[in-house]
Structure 1
Amino acid sequence: MAGLSARDHQGRVAARRRRHGRTHGAGAGRLRQGGTVMNMHPRATGPLVVGLDCGTGGARAIVSDLAGHVRGTATSNYPTTHPRPGWTEQNPADWWEAACAAVREAVARAGAAPDDILAISADGTSSTLVALDEAGQPLGPAILWMDTRASAQARRMSQCGDPALARCRAGVSAEWMIPRILWIKENQPELFARTRWFVEMADYIAYRLSGRLTLGLNQASNRWFHGGLAGGWPTGFFERIGLAGITERFPSDVLALGAPIGPVAADVAETMGLGRRTLVVCGGTDAYVAMVGLDVCRPGRTAFITGSSHLVLSVTDQPGEVPGLFGPHPDCVVPGLYVLEGGQVSSGSIIKWWHDHFGTALCHGEDPYTAMIARAAGIPIGAEGLVALDFWQGNRNPYTDYDLRGAIWGLTLKHSPDHILRALIESVAYGTENILRTLSANDIAVSSLTACGGTVRSRFLLQMHADVSGVPINVPQVSEASAFGSAIVAAVGGGAFRDLPEGAGAMVREDFVIEPDREAGARYASIFEDYRATHVALAPLMHAKVRERAVPA
């Protein structure tokens, strides 16, 4: 496809920076809207970048200048289906329609001319699998990240003992790409035979933007067993598990996060309101791209991504494994560095469950979320003797045991629904602390967390996490870290910055810090030990119950 080279784009950026200055708009008035800093400009001029976050519920676009001032945002949702228990699917056509709508509206809200848009980059949900035919058309619904149909394949992979499993000693997750591809081969052989390309959600969006099919090193490294810049595909492992020759169905161009892909396709530029020379830049997995949006791009920094699930992502320059965690994934964000990953499958989703089933009924005439959290905050630490486990959808880390289940004990007639909610919220904080303790036990010090997502909207929740873990929590001005991270990735790919650390350092600004309360932390510490002891005591019962239910009647 004809267009500017990366060097041409860099020259174009330099010329624009000379005209406008890197801190363009820095002195303008600002207001806070939905946790995002918005500049009050009647019209934004370039150079501007677009970050596109394709999440579980919809697409969100952010238009930003190179100083990190957000000029326009927009969101467009898409549906999710559950055709069978444990299955979760989405339609790639719905993604694209929502992506076009979100970008078009965000650019319009920014008052940006098409030629002002330097570059665009997209992130997507992790391990959301798309099967494409020879012409690049989806062969059916995409398998969403939370789909668990490939559990049996993941268990078999975990038991094969191949060296490729070094970064997941605790077990292969059923959420990952390779188990899903193997599931398709074993359960839908006709679909497998028709598939020419397997890609992730972010790769598909980049393909639709540019017309060039690529695979992001970011997701390939952390979810596809790729060895990073110095490694490659573990073909022996693939042969061992029954996927010999599978790499022929992966795009041959594996690009690093922030690498230029090419100019936006002409019809796409017109649809989205972009320029014909707007550059498409390689993105990646939403949570890992959020690390860029949080300026977690250097060793010793740790991102805390909160939402339906929670992630703790630590950057290190050491290749050593940490039993119970995933990684270290090489080169998946910054070349030459590694990321260690710990996650909670169900965290914010537990609070949502409580809201959906009890919160509305218990909080008459009030905003249910605000009211129920306020009521839980009024209950003493420890919920007067209640202990809960946050394993409602199993445990991702540090146990990697999807047969674990949620639990709560210690109930008496003294306890109210507010006590139960308090215990559930505390269990989420203890799950995060369990991951941080695993890092600490392996000489990976976490001196602070930089947070984004739903938890940052509640000082109570942030304070509890800070108190339980004993570390300060930093919150940046732009809370939509995935979309904003994609905007920074676009700026780096467009040549505005030398690399991701420089781009994040220039565009991300801190909003506030939550300091831990040491006295509260000491009270939480004893309950955390009860939390871990509860897991030890109940895990055998939970495993037995799962086996019992798995036996056909």
Structure 2
Amino acid sequence: MAYFLAADGGTESLRVRIYDINGVCVASHAEPYETTFSPGARAEQNPEDWWICLCKASRASLAEAGLAGEQIDAMAYATTSCTVVALDKAGKPLRPALLWMDVRADQEAEAVLATGDARLRLNSDGAGPVSAEWMIPKALWIKRNEPDVYDAAATICEYQDYLTLRLTGERCASLNNVGLRWHYANRDGGWAESLVTALGMPDLVEKWPARVAAPGEVVGSLTPDAAEALGLTPKTKLVQGGADALIGMIGLGVSQPGQLCLITGSSHLQFGVTEKPFHAPGMWGAYADIVYPGRHIVEGGQTSTGSIINWLRRFVGGEFDIDEMNRKAAALPPGSEGLVVQDHFQGNRTPYTDARSRGAITGLTLAHEPHHVFRAIMEGISMGTRAILDSFAKGGYEGSEMVAGGGATNSDLFMQIHADTAGIPVRIPASTDGPTLGSAILAAHGAGYFATIDEGIAAMVKPGRVIEPNPKAVQAYEEIYARYLALYPALSGALAR
């Protein structure tokens, strides 16, 4: 039996899972790490924590599976995307990493858009805005605000690339991340040199990893020190992964043109697969070859989703029984008895791409209880997804169902609300941990067990259940959705930004 080690470096923890060649998970272990939040929508993490957690989780998973390191043929991982790291010549972090949800670089994002560079066509067909989450705005923020750090940085990269450097000693970036967030054009010139030159930092290209590898490509073998730290051997191949949500598409089996994918967690991401590139306002992409060779990906996303529910948990305090909250919320009618939530608690990614937008709970009365707010949050998040799917449809891309993965799939209510607000079925595969299963498929492909990623999907992704929309609820949500859409223009000038 062949085994593969897969990791998912998420917002709150790093999880390692070990899969066999049939897609069966034989071990799983997660290690949490801290995020530091500060005013100005700032969020930072310590890169050393990622490494420590990877080592601990790898060894714990091997012990749970009863496997020796030499039994692991290959490993791959998915991580948060746009989590930017500045490293010195020795590969040591010069400052905490700017987490993906850190949107302090909003002015820098505006500066990127103001260049009018041709690479910006990926941002709503050139209309923008550019997201403050992305690599170039964050690098520009470091240059403007921490010039000593910028000048000392031998490497500016992402979470994914930091682990790759620690594991193999190679400065190698994923085509998935650079095509998605660095304005890298795989079929048209590579790095966005004209863009960074216009911003006054042409040397940024030299600070980026010199090598770019596509998902499924072998980066190299583990160094002896890295292998020892993880409990593996230097014979273990490191196969390129990428952004957690995009690798999650592979693990959920979303690979064919016309399919829609919904990745849930601290944030939501929506993706579609297309053979031909197209660009439209309110969506990002299409990105060439970043997941599957010869195919393009269209994208939408919500910055805060599951993290809003975690906020409510902290806000309510005391005992927060999620099962009881789901039960009470399920008994409420659509609309949560008058509540409508704008889900922009950490800004809006799409369709508005407004880092300064903020969340709101409207329609509150003294009769409302926490479970009303709980359901209203799920409805606001789901209607945010609907708004993104509508922007896809305006651009000419429609899907007949959504394939969902991630933590929100544990709530039948949440998934039902998604089906009802979008008006299409939600399909949930047997394994909803898309990033780790997707990483395992890439590892198996890179190790030579499957000729293509599609072959790996056919062998390792298993079917699950389908949640159909409720026609009465679909009709009820049409009026509520109209009220949701009215919130953004009404509140954008009223809320503190």
Counterpart residue identity of residue 44, structure 2: E
- Which residue of 2 is the match for residue 217 of structure 1? 175
Q: Secondary structure at the match of 2:371?
A: helix
- Which residue of 1 is the match for residue 245 of structure 2? 287
1:144-543 to 2 correspondence within 5 Å?
Answer: 144-168=99-123, 169-358=127-316, 360=317, 368-412=321-365, 414-542=367-495
The total of aligned residue pairs comes to 494
Shift, 1:255, TM fit: 0.6
State the distance in 2 between where 1:91 and 1:408 align: 33
Shift, 1:497, TM fit: 0.9
Contact 1:90 1:143 in 2 (8 A): yes
Match of 2:18 among 51, 56, 63: 63
State the distance in 2 between where 1:283 and 1:417 align: 40
The superposition leaves residues 8-56 of structure 1 with CA deviations (integer Å, 9 ceiling, x where unpaired) of: xxxxxxxxxxxxxxxxxxxxxxxxxxxxxxxxxxxxxx31111111112
The superposition leaves residues 222-275 of structure 1 with CA deviations (integer Å, 9 ceiling, x where unpaired) of: 010000244411211111111223211112211111110111112222332223
The superposition leaves residues 269-297 of structure 1 with CA deviations (integer Å, 9 ceiling, x where unpaired) of: 23322233110111111111111111112
State the distance in 1 between where 2:98 and 2:366 align: 45
State the distance in 1 between where 2:137 and 2:455 align: 36
State the distance in 1 between where 2:102 and 2:257 align: 33
- Runs of 5+ in structure 2 lacking a partner? none
Q: Secondary structure at the match of 1:352?
A: helix
1:103-142 to 2 correspondence within 5 Å?
Answer: 103-142=58-97
State the distance in 1 between where 2:444 and 2:275 align: 25
Shift, 1:398, TM fit: 0.4
Give the direction of change, closer, same or farther, for the CA distance of 1:99–1:150 in structure 2 (3 Å limit): same
Quick check: 1:94 aligned with 2:49? yes
Q: If you compute each CA radius of gyration, which structure gives the higher value, 1 or 2?
A: 1
The superposition leaves residues 193-225 of structure 1 with CA deviations (integer Å, 9 ceiling, x where unpaired) of: 111111111111112112222111110000100
Q: Secondary structure at the match of 2:76?
A: strand
- Which residue of 2 is the match for residue 73 of structure 1? 28
Contact 1:308 1:348 in 2 (8 A): yes
Counterpart residue identity of residue 383, structure 2: Y
Q: Secondary structure at the match of 2:36?
A: coil
State the distance in 2 between where 1:485 and 1:516 align: 28
State the distance in 2 between where 1:189 and 1:318 align: 41
State the distance in 1 between where 2:394 and 2:39 align: 40
State the distance in 1 between where 2:267 and 2:210 align: 32
Question: If the length of structure 1 is used for normalisation, what is the TM-score?
Answer: 0.86
Contact 1:132 1:196 in 2 (8 A): yes
Counterpart residue identity of residue 222, structure 2: V
Contact 1:68 1:506 in 2 (8 A): yes
Shift, 1:419, TM fit: 3.0
The superposition leaves residues 516-542 of structure 1 with CA deviations (integer Å, 9 ceiling, x where unpaired) of: 112211111121112112323333323
Q: Secondary structure at the match of 1:391?
A: coil
The superposition leaves residues 150-209 of structure 1 with CA deviations (integer Å, 9 ceiling, x where unpaired) of: 111111112222211111133111111111111111111111111111111111111211
Q: Identity rate of aligned residues, in percent?
A: 40
Give the direction of change, closer, same or farther, for the CA distance of 1:380–1:338 in structure 2 (3 Å limit): same
State the distance in 2 between where 1:411 and 1:87 align: 29
Contact 1:297 1:500 in 2 (8 A): no
Over the residues paired in the alignment, what is the CA RMSD in angstroms? 1.7
Shift, 1:310, TM fit: 0.8
Counterpart residue identity of residue 435, structure 2: S
Contact 2:132 2:355 in 1 (8 A): no
Give the direction of change, closer, same or farther, for the CA distance of 1:527–1:85 in structure 2 (3 Å limit): closer
State the distance in 2 between where 1:226 and 1:167 align: 10
Contact 1:121 1:206 in 2 (8 A): no
Shift, 1:314, TM fit: 1.1
State the distance in 1 between where 2:477 and 2:315 align: 27
Q: Secondary structure at the match of 1:51?
A: strand
State the distance in 1 between where 2:218 and 2:416 align: 40
State the distance in 2 between where 1:443 and 1:114 align: 48
Counterpart residue identity of residue 377, structure 1: A
- Which residue of 2 is the match for residue 27 of structure 1? none
Shift, 1:134, TM fit: 2.1
Shift, 1:478, TM fit: 1.9
State the distance in 2 between where 1:271 and 1:308 align: 29
Counterpart residue identity of residue 249, structure 2: M
Shift, 1:383, TM fit: 2.3
Q: Secondary structure at the match of 1:522?
A: helix
Q: Secondary structure at the match of 1:425?
A: helix
Contact 2:112 2:195 in 1 (8 A): no
Give the direction of change, closer, same or farther, for the CA distance of 1:393–1:79 in structure 2 (3 Å limit): closer
- Which residue of 2 is the match for residue 42 of structure 1? none
Counterpart residue identity of residue 529, structure 1: A
Deviates more, 1:477-486 or 1:66-75: 477-486
